[in-house]
A = this chain, B = another copy of it.
Amino acid sequence: MTRTHPQVSTLPGLQLPPRKTYTALSAAIDLEAVFSLLEGRWKLLILFNLFGGQVQRFSDLEKRIDGISQKMLAQQLRQLEADGIVERTDHGEVPPRVDYRMTAWGQALCPALDGLLQWMEQCGQR
């Protein structure tokens, strides 16, 4: 597989870990794992409403994402939380107040997804 190496350490002292090596099979399997984290009718909508660092309440997301049901919002958030992509905070108040934000790891998805968008933008040039 062609790589984007060499990895330039821009920050002195920041040690980037050595890259994994892949076979066609293992690369496909790992990428399937990535996709399984992101697949789901509403996950990308949720993520793009959280990239940027906002902290959003359940009801905020419900308002911002047109057409989503409470069941689906809760389900997709649970999965994103279980996968370490978003963080959930229950303030334990009555009436309930719960909010969501990206984890550091989840936030790192943003530039990676942007790479896919850039690729899609090249579509016209083919």
Contact = CB atoms under 8 A, between A and B. Distances in A.
Interface of A: 1-4, 17, 19-20, 22, 24-25, 27-28, 30-35, 38-39, 44-45, 47-49, 51-52, 64, 84, 103-105, 107-123, 125-126
21 contacts: A1-B114, A2-B52, A2-B110, A22-B117, A28-B44, A28-B45, A28-B48, A31-B44, A31-B113, A35-B35, A35-B38, A35-B39, A84-B123, A84-B126, A103-B126, A105-B122, A105-B126, A111-B115, A112-B116, A115-B116, A116-B116
Identical copies in the complex: 2
B119 A112 contact: yes
A88 B3 CA distance: 25
